């Protein structure tokens, strides 16, 4: 395949994509295949001889779409959305044609400076302090890992980087049980250890109990352990819990703890002033992650970490071996020093395209619609006999269950996903198996949301 073929087949691909999006509602949302189906249809070895593009494209059409779960399907209500605006797809198409690797300023100045520009736009859009900065990671998991590594080194006076952890005091990180498992993963990978992630009890509204936090930190200090940081939950994955950050900050300050906010999903909604109150206090923390690839139309992957002062994180993650030295020195930002991997994609382009193609207002309208339709659906389901709302809507997320018990609820979910018209997933809430509803795909309409009611009625 040469560049002329690329031109020809890109146009074919563009047509295919248009058709794909136009017919998504006709496809089952979740792949209706069994494990191993696709693998069994692939040859066991790579071809020795070149194959024509026609054959490759034909096999793509024959094998792949039927084995996909369609994340951009307007009736995808599972997990959290990973929504993608057409403007974002266009930007990614351009980037894939350029094939840049943006590890240093020098290796693509446009990548670094567009990233800085987009971070500035997002700081203002989220009403965060003007003197903050930030970077773009692949995922919230990596952003939180970067923050936890920084917590570790800040607490150890940066000794862990060289000496390792075996002779260091035992570090402690605090988070509520509503936080995402990426926090557990971060403390494991950072060598802090799962046992040193203190799951602080929550209050009735599922927010971290500030008194319990204060007691936990006090007990750890008394026992000779070393508190290092707190990860706040701003929009939990199970049922959308929010910590009351302002109530927890005094104890963080008293012990000089670094604070990081996980707003991976809910962060995008903070461009709406009426929702921004849920994030109150984040501006007094040290770091925050949110995923424009969830709810802001910039397709996966795009996780933005906003940072009060990057010095500690750069000291933790940055390395400058000889082969990465550049003449610009400290005049420029080399973003690989802010993140775990050395190589980086140019992720700012899709943000630039989306934010301009829709404006913040265009994105706000979508988010507000998603929230309003979620509440509407919740009220309708509340009226259904034998069905119970198990957690109230938080932004575009609520959960429900059948009053008949966990087994009945689980069986209903299995029927729903085998049916294919909509896609929902489960969580455990207050010890019960519950079904989560969340919406947020780019082309989702009110009718799509209300289809959930129809499907549930059909399948009960
Ligand atoms: C989705 C999510 C994550 C993980 O995001 P990735 O980008 O997939 O790593 C972390 N925290 C919360 C609250 C999330 O919703």
95-104 pLDDT tens trace: 999 999 999 9
Does 178 lie in the same domain as 146? yes
**Residue 134 covered by a domain:** yes
Does 430 lie in the same domain as 281? no
Beta bridge partners of 388: 401
The pLDDT value recorded for residue 428 is 93
pLDDT confidence bin for 155, thresholds 50/70/90: very high
Residue 305 Cβ inside 6 Å of ligand 1? The answer reads: no
Residue 80 Cβ inside 6 Å of ligand 1? The answer reads: yes
Does 215 lie in the same domain as 116? yes
Point out the ligand 1 atom lying closest to the alpha carbon of residue 233: 13
**Residue 49 covered by a domain:** no
266 Cα to the center of ligand 1, angstroms: 10
Q: Among 312, 345, 378, give the residue marking a domain's end.
A: 345
Does 402 lie in the same domain as 440? yes
**Residue 210 covered by a domain:** yes
Token look-up 């191993």 returns 36
Burial 339-375 (b: 16+ CB within 10 A, else e): beeeebbbbbbbbbbbbebbeeeebbebbebbbebbe
142 Cα to the center of ligand 1, angstroms: 10
Q: Among 345, 377, 402, give the residue marking a domain's end.
A: 345
DSSP code string of 314-347: HHHH----GGG--TTGGGS--GGGGSSSS-----
Does 273 lie in the same domain as 175? yes
Give the span between the Cα atoms of 368 and 271, in whole angstroms: 10
pTM value is 0.96
Point out the least confidently predicted range of 125-134, 318-327, 346-355.
318-327
**Residue 91 covered by a domain:** no
Q: State mean pLDDT over 235-249.
A: 97
CA torsion sign for 267, 268, 274, 276 is positive
Note whether 264 and 291 are within 8 A (CB). yes
Does 395 lie in the same domain as 316? no
Does 168 lie in the same domain as 115? yes
The pLDDT value recorded for residue 96 is 95
Give the span between the Cα atoms of 135 and 142, in whole angstroms: 12
Does 365 lie in the same domain as 401? yes
**Residue 356 covered by a domain:** yes
80 Cα to the center of ligand 1, angstroms: 9
Task: Give pLDDT tens digits for 207-223.
Answer: 999 999 999 999 999 99
Q: Is the pLDDT of residue 401 over 90?
A: yes
The pLDDT value recorded for residue 259 is 98
The pLDDT value recorded for residue 327 is 74
Does 133 lie in the same domain as 3? no
Does 436 lie in the same domain as 455? yes
In angstroms, how far is the first alpha carbon of the chain from the final one?
Answer: 52
Does 150 lie in the same domain as 119? yes
Residue 171 Cβ inside 6 Å of ligand 1? The answer reads: no
Max CA distance (Å), the chain: 70
Token look-up 């080399």 returns 334
How many domains is the chain partitioned into structurally?
2
CATH number at residue 79: 3.90.1150.170
pLDDT confidence bin for 331, thresholds 50/70/90: confident
Give me the chain's average pLDDT, please.
96
Strands (E) in 56-114, as ranges, are none
Point out the least confidently predicted range of 317-326, 344-353, 366-375.
317-326
Point out the ligand 1 atom lying closest to the alpha carbon of residue 144: 10
Beta bridge partners of 209: none
Q: Among 316, 345, 374, give the residue marking a domain's end.
A: 345
Mutational test site, ligand 1, from 78, 82, 140, max ligand atoms within 8 Å of CB: 140
The pLDDT value recorded for residue 352 is 98
Does 218 lie in the same domain as 250? yes
Note whether 306 and 128 are within 8 A (CB). yes
Give the span between the Cα atoms of 93 and 70, in whole angstroms: 19
Range of the structural domain that residue 115 is part of: 101-345
- What SS3 state is found at 258? strand
Give the span between the Cα atoms of 243 and 236, in whole angstroms: 9
Query: Residue of the nearest CA to atom 8 in ligand 1?
Result: 139
Q: State mean pLDDT over 364-372.
A: 98
């Amino acid at each position: 395949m040469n560049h002329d073929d690329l031109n020809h087949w890109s146009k074919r691909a563009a047509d295919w994509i248009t058709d794909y999006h136009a017919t998504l509602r006709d496809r089952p949302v979740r792949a209706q295949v069994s494990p191993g189906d696709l693998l069994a249809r692939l040859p066991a070895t790579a071809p020795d001889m070149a194959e024509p593009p026609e054959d490759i494209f034909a096999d793509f059409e024959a094998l792949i779409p039927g084995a996909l779960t369609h994340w951009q399907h307007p009736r995808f209500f599972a997990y959290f959305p990973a929504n993608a605006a057409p403007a974002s797809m266009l930007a990614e198409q351009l980037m894939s044609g350029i094939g840049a690797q943006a590890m240093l300023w020098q290796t693509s100045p446009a990548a670094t400076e567009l990233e800085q520009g987009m971070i500035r736009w997002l700081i203002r859009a989220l009403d965060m302090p003007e003197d903050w900065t930030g970077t773009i990671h692949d995922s919230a998991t990596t952003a939180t890992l970067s923050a936890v590594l920084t917590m570790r080194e800040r607490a150890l006076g940066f000794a862990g980087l060289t000496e390792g952890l075996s002779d260091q005091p035992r570090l402690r990180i605090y988070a509520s049980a509503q936080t995402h498992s990426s926090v557990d993963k971060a403390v494991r990978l950072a060598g802090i250890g799962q046992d040193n992630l203190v799951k602080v009890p929550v209050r009735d509204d599922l927010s971290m109990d500030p008194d319990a936090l204060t007691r936990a930190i006090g007990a750890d200090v008394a026992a000779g352990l070393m508190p290092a940081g707190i990860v706040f939950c701003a929009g939990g994955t199970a049922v959308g819990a929010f910590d009351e950050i302002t109530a927890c900050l005094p104890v963080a300050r008293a012990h000089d703890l670094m604070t990081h906010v996980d707003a991976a999903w809910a962060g995008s909604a903070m461009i709406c002033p009426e929702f921004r109150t849920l994030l109150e206090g984040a501006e007094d923390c040290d770091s925050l992650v949110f995923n424009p690839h969830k709810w802001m139309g910039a397709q996966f992957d795009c996780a933005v970490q906003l940072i009060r002062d990057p010095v500690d994180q750069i000291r933790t993650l940055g390395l400058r071996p000889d082969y990465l030295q550049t003449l610009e020195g400290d005049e420029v930002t080399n973003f690989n020093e802010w993140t775990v991997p050395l190589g980086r994609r140019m992720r700012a382009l899709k943000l630039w395209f989306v934010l301009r193609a829709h404006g913040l207002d265009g994105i706000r309208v979508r988010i507000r619609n998603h929230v309003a339709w979620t509440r509407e659906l919740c009220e309708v389901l509340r009226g259904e006999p034998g069905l119970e709302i198990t957690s109230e809507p938080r932004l575009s997320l609520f959960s429900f269950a059948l009053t008949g018990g966990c087994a009945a609820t689980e069986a209903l979910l299995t029927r729903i996903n085998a049916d294919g018209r909509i896609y929902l997933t489960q969580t455990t809430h207050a010890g019960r198996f519950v079904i989560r509803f969340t919406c947020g795909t780019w082309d989702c309409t009110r009718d799509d949301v209300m289809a959930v009611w129809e499907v549930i009625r059909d399948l009960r």
